[in-house]
Amino acid sequence: MTISKGDKLPDVALVKATADGPDKVQSGDFFAGKKVALFSVPGAFTPTCSAKHLPGYVEKAAELKAKGVDEIACTAVNDAFVMGAWNDASGSSDITMLADGNGDFAQAVGLTMDGSGFGMGTRGQRYSMIVDNGVVTELNVEEPGQFKVSSAEHMLGQL
């Protein structure tokens, strides 16, 4: 079942990429008590994700925070080392990288995709959501191959 607006996020393990290395965190703890702009990409260092998705959130971070977002987070079915390296290469300290290495979060929210045709296996879909104290208040899931509704610009219009 796919998560919907008004639903509480499931509590699953994620790994936060930090300068000191991987840091395990439960999604229930991470999203508690704050408003988070979360976006999901099929994979770090992939073309659309690197050229448009992450850079858009980096560029719009101050505007998102000015509209009440406490934290901006990116998730992907990659390990914390890859997510950390991607943030070092293309991101910023304004973005928290949440590695979903086994795809548990993507599966728990019902937003997986089959990337096996590209040698990527099961991945998380491209989407964005606004999560307020663990509850989804906006959800923007892209159609396959698209990049429109999960952008930082679209999310700004929802705040």
**pLDDT single digits (tens) 63-95:** 999 999 999 999 999 999 999 998 988 878 999
Q: Please identify which residue in the block is written with the tokens 């914390």.
A: 80
Q: Is 158 left (phi over 0), alpha (psi -120 to 50) or beta?
A: alpha
What was the pLDDT predicted at 53?
86
Give the single-character DSSP code of 8.
B
Q: Is 63 exposed, middle or buried (0-12, 13-18, 19+ CB in 10 A)?
A: middle
Q: What is the structure's pLDDT at 99?
A: 96
Burial of 114 (0-12, 13-18, 19+ CB in 10 A): exposed
Active site residue 74: no
Q: Classify domain 13-158 at the CATH class level.
A: alpha beta
Position of tokens 């980096």? 58
φ/ψ of residue 53, rounded to 5: -65, -60
CA-nearest of 153, 98, 144 to 118 is: 144
- At 159, is the pLDDT very low, low, confident or very high (cuts 50, 70, 90)? very high
Q: What is the pTM of this model?
A: 0.93
Q: Are 14 and 97 in contact (CB under 8 A)?
A: no
pLDDT of 121 reads: 63
Catalytic-labelled residue, pool 49, 74, 77, 106: 49
The model's pLDDT over 108-120, given as tens digits with 9 standing for 90+, comes to 999 986 777 776 7
Residue range 137-152: mean pLDDT, rounded = 92
- In the prediction, which pLDDT does 90 show? 86
Q: Which residue has the tokens 């991945």?
A: 123
What would the pLDDT profile of 3-60 be if each residue is shown by its tens digit? 999 999 999 999 998 888 899 999 999 999 999 999 999 888 876 766 778 889 999 9
50/128: higher pLDDT: 128
Residue 142 has pLDDT above 70, yes or no: yes
